[in-house]
Structure 1
């Protein structure tokens, strides 16, 4: 009898524990849902649909009337109340006309302010006031596994949202201009044609990336230009209309350095950028840099991330010899390199 009562009590406890676990799962799922819907409500007024017309490529004109135009679409997001919009370079490059459609139904003619094919970032402007806008977050604080929400206008449909996670950081992606974009975010938040140029946001609604590409026919492999790089490029485009920059011809990613290296070699930083590949005939190749090398300093300035290198390689570095500190095979090496101008 005592044994029977003990078994009954154990079963009841198990059922109670299972119920509590189920309740906790429901609470967590509801919290996730509330987060996503909250972000959608906050940022959706600042996401725009771009309808773009471009000249028909020469090899297709025979199929159309002379002077014909190609039409396409993409997404963008407003970053200032007076109408500056961030999108992809490949969406607006070569456009003869751009029309921006806001979620409230208003239509605006948009003009290209600046275009940077090297990072697939562009800025267009509409003549508006008191517009809803979005803010850039800090992509260097991202962690693999955190929530990532993509917003855009796939296939021309007005406003769609997909949610996923940050799948990987520090990817390298070749832009449509043929250049390599460093420090790209990989996400499984679904992107489709028309999502290009839309924002990738975190759980607070901050822009952590600019959606730029999806790998087909693979599923769940999508990419966004990291917000820190995008923010730097956008600032240059708004002020100067272009980004004139030096380049050394590498693809690289940010890596942490083992503490024993920083202490033993007395390095100026706890991180560096590891070269993944070297462009044939480029400045880095001529200087003797190799895949696997880790750059920790550029002409006396610590380089602990891709963002720092991009900002360091400004127009003042073009054609001027610079000394790099490079880690190779556990030792520190000085390498002289002369940056060229990125075209």
Structure 2
């Protein structure tokens, strides 16, 4: 009975490795838990009613600026931020960029020291990462996993524009609703991603912290928005062109005569062409009579209707 209830017989190396893993996760949790806030934002719905949404945000400056997702703040201008030590402070939105799903808010009260930002371009598949956030409103939740893939793409957009976010980090660290805007950190405690979406169980996605996202954050801090260049085609009103056929040649072409069901008899040498409105009618030789008004005349030619597509 004692042997049945005893724990597994782990070797010293296995125990040391497990302790090393635990020390890594606990050290990251101790460093970042206090620096990740829980956001409460009121969103206006149809009919004028308000719905409170939750998310997370990471303190990244000494003067109270926090980094989160654009879909967490939505169209709101303000909200409240709660920290792991129990303090709550209001915040206001500095700027949001839905095309990168990043937003910057500023707390109106004191905040913990900022988290250190890392470089997502240096990540490797299989590397240990720790996610810190506030899923389901549970402040200071920590999960651990690995980088399961790199270079993913995530579509993001507004009602007028759509963009694909590149170099998205995929991780198997467990994420839940409310984890959006939280930190994805490496073993040294540096934030390399902002958790943004859940593709499926065990498939979390994070916006990378790299050179591109740093430029977006700088633009949000400076102007509250991100200006992008677009390449496209613009149209201007213009007068309609003359109707097709009004400038058609007066003489009947060989191709037009070939399509005519009433073939015109060939004109004698030196005589004007059949169908010319300014010429006198040619003498009628034996054979079918010339019927210029039926097909050979340019005025009698009508364009055939364009075929309709079956999905129109």
Fold-level match, TM-score > 0.5?
A: yes
Match of 1:204?
A: 188
Give 1:126's match in structure 2, choosing from 92, 96, 107: 107
Matched, 1:52 2:41: yes
Q: Deviations over 1:25-58 (max 9, x none)?
A: 11011001001001110111110000000111x2
Moved over 6 A (4+): none
Give me the whole-angstrom Cα distance separating, in 2, the residues matched to 1:40 and 1:70: 31
Is the Cα contact below 8 Å between 2:78 and 2:93 reproduced in 1? no
Shift of 1:129: 4.3
Matched, 1:103 2:84: yes
More helix, by proportion = 1
Is the Cα contact below 8 Å between 1:90 and 1:117 reproduced in 2? yes
Shift of 1:176: 5.5
Matched, 1:158 2:139: yes
Note the 1:77-96 alignment, pairs <5 A.
Answer: 77-96=58-77
Match of 1:64?
A: none
The TM-score normalised by the length of structure 2 is: 0.68
Q: Deviations over 1:158-211 (max 9, x none)?
A: 110110001111110112644311110000011110000001000011011010
Shift of 1:96: 4.9
Match of 1:236?
A: 219
Is the Cα contact below 8 Å between 1:90 and 1:176 reproduced in 2? no
> Which secondary structure does the structure 2 equivalent of 1:200 belong to?
strand
Give 2:229's match in structure 1, choosing from 246, 250, 263: 246
Give me the whole-angstrom Cα distance separating, in 1, the residues matched to 2:120 and 2:215: 12
Is the Cα contact below 8 Å between 1:53 and 1:72 reproduced in 2? yes
> Which secondary structure does the structure 2 equivalent of 1:179 belong to?
strand
| Aligned positions, number | 222
Note the 1:319-330 alignment, pairs <5 A.
Answer: none
For the pair shown, the structure with the greater C-alpha radius of gyration is 2
Give me the whole-angstrom Cα distance separating, in 2, the residues matched to 1:214 and 1:235: 27
Match of 1:42?
A: 31
Matched, 1:190 2:179: no
The TM-score normalised by the length of structure 1 is: 0.62
Give me the whole-angstrom Cα distance separating, in 1, the residues matched to 2:64 and 2:77: 19
Matched, 1:213 2:197: yes
Note the 1:210-289 alignment, pairs <5 A.
Answer: 210-215=194-199, 218-228=200-210, 229-246=212-229
> Which secondary structure does the structure 2 equivalent of 1:86 belong to?
strand
Q: Deviations over 1:209-235 (max 9, x none)?
A: 0100001xx321110011113322111
> Which secondary structure does the structure 2 equivalent of 1:36 belong to?
helix
Match of 1:271?
A: none
Give me the whole-angstrom Cα distance separating, in 2, the residues matched to 1:130 and 1:84: 9
Give me the whole-angstrom Cα distance separating, in 2, the residues matched to 1:115 and 1:96: 10
Match of 1:294?
A: none
Question: Structure 1 residues 130 and 211, CA, compared in 2 at 3 Å: closer, same or farther?
Answer: closer
Is the Cα contact below 8 Å between 2:59 and 2:111 reproduced in 1? no
Shift of 1:245: 1.8
More strand, by proportion = 1
Give me the whole-angstrom Cα distance separating, in 1, the residues matched to 2:122 and 2:26: 23
